[in-house]
Amino acid sequence: MGPGIDGETSEHIERIQSQARASNEPAAAGDAPADAPATDVPSRKRQKKKTSPWWAHFTEGEKTEDGSYTATCIYCGYVIIQGNQKGTSALKGHIKKGCKKIPREKRFKPDAMQYMLQASIEKGKDRGFMSLTCHFIDDQWKMRKRIINFTNLPSPHTGKNISNAIYEKFVLWNLDKRVFCLVLDNATSNDVCIKELLSTSSFQKELPVGGNIFHQRCACHVLNLIVQDGLGVLTDQIANVREAMKYIRNSQSRMEKFNLAISQAKAPKKKPAWDVPTRWNSTFLMLQLALELKDAIIRYDTLDPDFEYCPTDDVWDNVHILVEHLRVFYEATNKLSGTKYPTLNLFFPEFCEVFLNIKKMCNHPNLFVVGMGKKMFTKWDKYWSTGSVLLAIGCMLDPRCKIDVVEYYFRELYPSGDAATFIESLKQVLNALFNEYSESNPTSQSQSTTSSSHSRSAASSSVSNTKAGLKEFLNVRKTSEPIKSELEEYLTQPLDLASMDDEFDILAWWKLKVPKYPIMAKMARDILAVPISTVASESTFSIAGRTLSPVRSSLSDESLEALICAQDWLRASVTEQGGAFGDVMWSSDEAFGDGTICGQYSFGYDEAWSAGTCTSIFSLAPWT
């Protein structure tokens, strides 16, 4: 059984429902003799069935002299006096806020594990929502994630309001003392949110290294912002290519001419396609396709006198340069947006390569490229200033990299000599983090020391008396030498170069090293669960934001949260067993449409979802 959630389950539902049915049953007449006169049977008014779901938590008492009724909570025995109208507002208020004994949603186990949280703001038709997702690595060393809340976030979405909403959920799920880090989008309000959370001393003191690595920006969001700035410099050239592709594709006769141009130019037999401007990966793919069809497009210009969109040589040159530089971002985003495998250890070298690419752009002879590079650098530097420490630590926990790869890239990034300063400060943070884990796991450390002492004692018993002096001399020297910590032992071991391939399973490696490095393995289990993105792979390239469909936006807050959390948890339970589970929540734009590289699709779903059928949606959780 992996780490996850425990507490009261929804076993009380059957009891609640049976009690509700009993309270809703009309009172039966007493058994009367068959030959008794009808007048002997007292007539009773049929009891009206209660439709409010809140009565399922109460038993109704007898009518009092003043005409009022009583309702007794089936959990804590609290008695509520009802007037003649029998309203349920008081019942609802007691269950939602007053009752202390009602079985709540499941909470996370009170273990020593640290959890990684990511929060994002979603847009509805006329409301805003906050999604809170928990990431962790279970006992089987598998990556897990669950959306634990999807709640309405009233306007304004200020940093203080966001922080209050997040902290409330931390407490609700028993996570306020076991949060390792929080991943947020790159927004000013989120920066204020972090400051508000860290201003709570009781919360900050529970964070690793005093909260210095608590805030992590969404790396894929940062890459999106960097790319947006770069694409903005070449807006006209990109529009030129887009219009050329649309013109050819929007007519059957033009396509016939274009196929002829393909044959004459001996170009690849591919159809022109244009992009969805809100998804920069589709722009990249469109430009890449245009370069492949360049000769055919130029040839088509000679076949169609009405064609006015043929790019000039300068435009083709700029597009070629843009594609080469965007490829770095495209491949990095594809690689780093996964949720089923650790990405923190992969991102440090990838992000450093992005920066080195930006440096090349800033020194490029083409002025367009220089302009792109300068805009990109501003966004990169903002992220790097807050996220580089944890990224580097994640890289060091990769046995193929350790401190060696970090030192290499720091020297590439800071050739002026500042690399040594950054590396030293990084080591200090890593040592402080290791010491905190050691203090919270004294058993592992003492076992290691005891084992070493036992070995020395056994060796001394086998030494002959004639060599007692030599034995004493050697023992004194050996005991005077400092014993290496697990961290020092791990970092001084040679790199695992035999595993330098994309199929390397870092979690399996650390799982095998638990007996040798128990404290380091616990660190790795917590740190490698850190997500570097607040979005899954299907959303990483979008610059339009994640938006609920109008149909889902019309649902009540409770039903919407039940629907989204249920889908996420059910999908997880299916996919973790090797199955497939489609998306039924979001309007997405992944599929290929008519002429576009990214069209629109939306799965259907039965909207008949009521709060009554979702009384305890978290009982569906696979973490049992």
Q: What is the reported pLDDT for 268?
A: 92
Instruction: Tell me if 390 is assigned to some domain.
Output: yes
Measured between alpha carbons, how far is 515 from 451 in angstroms, rounded to an integer? 13
Instruction: Tell me if 375 is assigned to some domain.
Output: yes
**Burial of 18 (C-beta count, 10 Å sphere; 0-12/13-18/19+):** exposed
The structural domain count of the chain equals: 3
Shared-domain flag, residues 98 and 119: no
Instruction: Tell me if 34 is assigned to some domain.
Output: no
Measured between alpha carbons, how far is 394 from 495 in angstroms, rounded to an integer? 15
Helix (H) or strand (E) holding 236: helix 235-249
DSSP notation for 569-580: HHHHHHHTTT--
**Burial of 313 (C-beta count, 10 Å sphere; 0-12/13-18/19+):** exposed
Which of these three, 35, 69, 104, is where a domain ends?
104
Shared-domain flag, residues 372 and 293: yes
Which of these three, 356, 373, 397, is where a domain ends?
397
Shared-domain flag, residues 291 and 385: yes
Please, are residues 185 and 534 in contact by the beta-carbon 8 Å criterion? yes
Q: What is the reported pLDDT for 3?
A: 46
Classify 610 as helix, strand or coil: coil
Helix (H) or strand (E) holding 131: strand 128-137
Range of 76's domain? 1-21+51-104
> Six-digit token pair at 281?
């990966």
Helix (H) or strand (E) holding 382: helix 367-396
Q: Provide CB contacts within 8 A for 577, sequence distance 6+.
A: none
Measured between alpha carbons, how far is 110 from 175 in angstroms, rounded to an integer? 9
Instruction: Tell me if 534 is assigned to some domain.
Output: no
DSSP notation for 492-534: HSPP-GGG-STT--HHHHHHHTTTT-HHHHHHHHHHTT--S-S
CA-closest candidate to residue 286, choices 333, 241, 226, 232: 241
State whether the Cα torsion 530-532-538-544 is positive or negative: positive
Instruction: Tell me if 562 is assigned to some domain.
Output: yes
Helix ranges restricted to H, 125-187? 159-172
> Six-digit token pair at 194?
């972090």
Instruction: Tell me if 33 is assigned to some domain.
Output: no
Angle at CA of residue 143, ends 140 and 145, nearest 5°: 125
State residue 273 phi and psi, 5-degree precision: -150, 150
Considering just the CA atoms, what is the radius of gyration of the chain in Å? 32
Helix (H) or strand (E) holding 145: strand 143-152
Instruction: Tell me if 170 is assigned to some domain.
Output: yes
Shared-domain flag, residues 324 and 282: yes
The partner residues of 215 in beta bridges, in order of sequence, read: 182
Shared-domain flag, residues 156 and 94: no
What CA dihedral angle connects 189, 193, 195 and 197, to 10 degrees? Answer: 180
Q: What is the reported pLDDT for 465?
A: 55
Angle at CA of residue 258, ends 257 and 261, nearest 5°: 95
DSSP notation for 181-213: EEEE-S-HHHHHHHHHHHT-HHHHTTSGGGGTT
Q: State the amino acid at position 168 in one-letter form.
A: E
Q: What is the pLDDT of residues 4-45, one digit of tens each?
A: 444 443 444 444 445 444 444 444 444 444 444 444 444 555
What pTM does this model have? 0.67
Q: What is the reported pLDDT for 353?
A: 87
Please, are residues 258 and 300 in contact by the beta-carbon 8 Å criterion? yes
What CA dihedral angle connects 340, 343, 344 and 347, to 10 degrees? Answer: -170
Helix (H) or strand (E) holding 460: helix 442-461
Instruction: Tell me if 566 is assigned to some domain.
Output: yes
Shared-domain flag, residues 307 and 193: no
Shared-domain flag, residues 71 and 127: no
Q: What is the reported pLDDT for 547?
A: 52
Which of these three, 343, 363, 397, is where a domain ends?
397
Q: What is the reported pLDDT for 463?
A: 45
Q: What is the reported pLDDT for 478?
A: 55
Q: Provide CB contacts within 8 A for 492, sequence distance 6+.
A: 484
Q: Provide CB contacts within 8 A for 44, sequence distance 6+.
A: 26, 27, 29
Please, are residues 244 and 558 in contact by the beta-carbon 8 Å criterion? no
Shared-domain flag, residues 374 and 259: yes
Measured between alpha carbons, how far is 534 from 553 in angstroms, rounded to an integer? 21
Shared-domain flag, residues 213 and 338: no
Q: What is the reported pLDDT for 27?
A: 41
Please, are residues 349 and 401 in contact by the beta-carbon 8 Å criterion? yes
Q: Which residues of the chain have pLDDT under 70?
A: 1-49, 84-86, 103-113, 123-126, 278, 336-341, 385-387, 442-482, 501-502, 533-553, 575-624
> Six-digit token pair at 227?
């790319």
Measured between alpha carbons, how far is 256 from 276 in angstroms, rounded to an integer? 25
Residue for token digits 């039903």? Answer: 559
Shared-domain flag, residues 305 and 192: no
Helix (H) or strand (E) holding 215: strand 215-217
Measured between alpha carbons, how far is 45 from 61 in angstroms, rounded to an integer? 17
Shared-domain flag, residues 238 and 382: yes
Q: Provide CB contacts within 8 A for 564, sequence distance 6+.
A: 131, 147, 150, 585
> Six-digit token pair at 358?
């930006």
Shared-domain flag, residues 94 and 129: no
